[in-house]
């Protein structure tokens, strides 16, 4: 049995309200006799900086480049993804018509749209639990027109994001994300 716990204090905006969450990640497994063991899932971004667990997406400004790293991520239904500021001012905002400046919907039917609001402090995080299976395309509010977009596939590809690219940039194909688990920005050729 796998379990994730979040312990680090974080402020986020979710569906228009401000809330405080706990956030830090670790995963654990439970043996047949009920004992728990802990397994850490740490990853690094393209610069070698630790991102936390495998479900962390960094939001990055590097010179005149603005990007999510990884740009493509596969998670299971019910998993929580942490969006974390590495540098700059960014948001993680789902493509749903009327959610910020989005003019199209690119999340599965019945899914709740997410919007972190603009985060500016290095290390600030926003967490979202993906409860609906399918493909979620998202963007950064301040850098949408500069191509700062990302894709998360939950469980299996599906929904209005399939078969085309977001209107503001390119992301990996869903099948490639499923096959690889995560696609770093440095490994993705636009």
CATH 2.60.40.420 fits 51-187, yes or no: yes
Distance between CA atoms of residues 166 and 135, nearest Å: 12
Distance between CA atoms of residues 117 and 126, nearest Å: 9
The answer to whether 134 and 111 are in contact (CB under 8 A) is yes
Query: Is the pTM of the predicted complex or chain greater than 0.85?
Result: no
Predicted local confidence at residue 190, as pLDDT: 58
* Residue scoring higher pLDDT (163 or 129): 129
Q: Which spans in the chain are helix H?
A: 174-180
Among residues 185, 189, 190, 181, the alpha carbon closest in space to that of 53 is found at 181
Predicted local confidence at residue 96, as pLDDT: 97
Beta bridge partners of 115: 93
pLDDT digits (tens, 9 = 90+) for 54-106: 899 999 999 999 999 999 999 999 999 999 999 999 999 999 999 989 999 99
Predicted local confidence at residue 43, as pLDDT: 41
Ramachandran sector of residue 186 (left: φ over 0; alpha: ψ -120 to 50; beta: rest): alpha
Ramachandran sector of residue 98 (left: φ over 0; alpha: ψ -120 to 50; beta: rest): left
Predicted local confidence at residue 189, as pLDDT: 72
pLDDT digits (tens, 9 = 90+) for 13-58: 333 333 333 333 333 333 333 332 223 333 444 444 444 468 999 9
The answer to whether 88 and 64 are in contact (CB under 8 A) is no
Distance between CA atoms of residues 183 and 43, nearest Å: 12
* Residue scoring higher pLDDT (187 or 51): 187
* Tokens representing residue 87 in the block: 């540098």
pLDDT digits (tens, 9 = 90+) for 134-185: 999 999 999 999 999 999 999 999 999 999 999 999 999 999 999 999 999 9
DSSP labels for 142-167?
TTGGGT-EEEEEESS--STTTTS--T
Binned at pLDDT 50, 70 and 90, residue 8 comes out as very low
Half-sphere exposure of 8 (CA within 13 A, CB side): 16
Domain boundaries, the chain: 51-187
């Amino acid at each position: 049995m796998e379990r994730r716990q979040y312990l680090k204090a974080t402020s986020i905006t979710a569906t228009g309200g401000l809330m405080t969450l706990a956030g830090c990640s670790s995963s654990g497994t439970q043996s047949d006799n009920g004992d728990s063991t802990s397994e850490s899932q740490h990853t690094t971004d393209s610069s070698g900086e630790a991102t936390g667990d495998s479900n962390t997406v960094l939001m990055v400004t590097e010179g005149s480049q603005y990007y999510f790293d990884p740009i493509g991520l596969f998670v299971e239904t019910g998993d929580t993804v942490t969006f974390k500021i590495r540098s700059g001012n960014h948001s993680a905002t789902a493509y749903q018509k009327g959610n910020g400046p989005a003019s199209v919907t690119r999340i599965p039917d019945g899914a709740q749209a997410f919007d972190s609001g603009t985060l500016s402090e290095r290390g600030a995080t926003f967490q979202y639990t993906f409860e609906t299976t399918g493909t979620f395309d998202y963007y950064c509010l301040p850098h949408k027109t500069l191509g700062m977009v990302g894709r998360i596939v939950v469980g299996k590809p599906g929904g209005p994001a399939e078969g085309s690219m977001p209107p503001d940039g390119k992301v990996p194909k869903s099948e490639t994300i499923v096959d690889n688990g995560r696609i770093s920005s440095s490994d993705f050729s636009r």
